[in-house]
């Protein structure tokens, strides 16, 4: 879009994108900017590079609606690998293998999971975008600085075991906005006394918006992106 062009002429709306694992959320924004020629594009809720799934891309005037989308509840499918820990709480970090622990049976796992349903307190990962004294925590952590983050309240409305065979534990999770799945994995691993890291993560829903309605990033192009634009609905106010 040419510099100085009236904002009213910029198509506005949001696109549900199925982000693949690998790129950052900002990488997806950059790709959509390149496809559309529009600079006024953002996203409504970061997905880590490891993660895949639903990423809501906001275009034009809809960038002003970001917080309305961010505050919506989220749903994920997470694959945890027990017996390991890392500084990032996922497999992309510096992995440490726990050497002494008892392999938990399914019943032991379920007893622990019950403690994480409902309202919980969790400390965000040091490798996160939370700002501490004006600096993003992950930048401080990468430079070797000690980062102290305050615990915060999260609500886990659903926590269901989909598959368990040590060391793999697959969970379906529905949670409030601001919940850190990596922190949840860390805390579950500590409670089971095996340690745990996230080895795969897929966001399946944001509010009432489902991954099933999202377009693969590689399928979006100059010819079809405007057809994928959605406009405001009551969903962003009712969750």
Query: Residue range 164-172: average pLDDT?
Result: 98
Same structural domain, 41 and 155: no
User: What per-residue confidence (pLDDT) applies to 143?
Assistant: 58
For residue 59, is it within any domain?
Answer: yes
Domain identity same for 78 and 191: yes
**227 or 239, greater pLDDT:** 227
Instruction: List, in order, residues 6 or more apart from 114 with CB less than 8 Å away.
Output: none
Per the structure, the count of domains in the chain is 2
115 and 199 part of one domain: yes
One domain for residues 113 and 199:
yes
Q: What is the pLDDT of residue 99?
A: 83
Lowest average pLDDT, out of 102-116, 126-140, 207-221, goes to 126-140
Peptide bond into 167 cis (omega under 30): yes
- The verdict on 224 and 129 lying in the same domain is no
Same domain, 88 and 124: yes
Instruction: Respond yes or no: is residue 48 known to be catalytic.
Output: yes
Look at residue 45 and tell me if it is in a domain.
yes
Domain that holds residue 26: 7-71+207-237
| Residues 67 and 11 occupy one common structural domain | yes
Q: From the candidates 7, 27, 30, 48, give the one annotated as an active-site residue.
A: 48
Give the pLDDT confidence of 6-17 residue by residue, as tens digits.
Answer: 566 889 999 999
CATH of the domain at 67: 3.30.2350.10
Same domain, 93 and 161: yes
DSSP state of 104: P
Of residues 168, 148, 173, 138, the one with CA closest to residue 158: 173
pTM, full prediction: 0.89
Task: Classify burial at 68, counting beta carbons within 10 Å of its beta carbon; exposed 0-12, middle 13-18, buried 19 or more.
Answer: middle
Is residue 174 a part of any domain in this protein?
yes
Q: Mean pLDDT, to the nearest integer, of 198-204?
A: 98
The CA dihedral of 70, 72, 73, 74, to the nearest 10 degrees, is -50
Q: Residue 187: which of 45, 175, 55, 202 has the closest Cα?
A: 175
Residues 155 and 90 in one domain: yes
Exposure of 44 in the CB half-sphere (CA atoms within 13 A): 29
Asked if residue 169 and residue 118 are part of one domain, the reply reads yes
Residue pLDDT, tens place only, 69-95: 999 999 999 999 999 999 999 999 999
The predicted pLDDT at position 150 comes to 83
Strand partners, 13: 59
Report yes or no on 1 lying in a domain: no
Only one residue has tokens 């992106």, namely 225
Under a CB-based contact definition with an 8 Å cutoff, are residues 169 and 82 in contact?
Answer: yes
One domain, residues 181 and 117: yes
Average per-residue pLDDT for the chain: 89
Mean pLDDT value of segment 10-32: 96
Q: Note whether 103 and 132 are same-domain residues.
A: yes
């Amino acid at each position: 879009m040419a510099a100085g062009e009236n904002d009213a002429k910029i198509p506005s709306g949001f696109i549900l994108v199925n982000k693949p694992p690998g790129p950052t959320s900002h990488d997806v924004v950059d790709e959509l900017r390149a496809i559309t020629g529009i600079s006024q594009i953002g996203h409504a809720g970061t997905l880590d590079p490891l993660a895949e799934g639903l990423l809501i891309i906001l275009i034009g005037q809809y960038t002003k609606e970001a917080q309305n989308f961010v505050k919506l509840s989220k749903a994920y499918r997470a694959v945890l690998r027990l017996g390991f820990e890392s500084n990032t709480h996922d497999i992309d970090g510096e992995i440490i293998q726990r050497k002494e622990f008892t392999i938990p049976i399914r019943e032991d796992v379920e007893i622990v999971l019950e403690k994480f349903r409902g309202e919980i307190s969790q400390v965000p990962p040091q490798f996160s975008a939370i700002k501490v004294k004006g600096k993003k925590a992950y930048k401080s952590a990468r430079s070797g600085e000690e980062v102290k983050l305050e615990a915060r309240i999260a609500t886990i409305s659903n926590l269901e075991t989909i598959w368990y065979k040590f060391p793999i534990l697959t969970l379906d999770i529905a949670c409030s906005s601001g919940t850190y799945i990596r922190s949840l994995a860390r805390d579950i691993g500590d409670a089971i006394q095996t340690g745990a890291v996230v080895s795969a993560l897929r966001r399946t829903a944001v509010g009432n918006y489902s991954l099933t309605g999202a377009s693969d990033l590689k399928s979006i192009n100059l010819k079809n992106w405007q057809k994928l634009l959605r406009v405001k609905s009551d969903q962003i106010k009712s969750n």
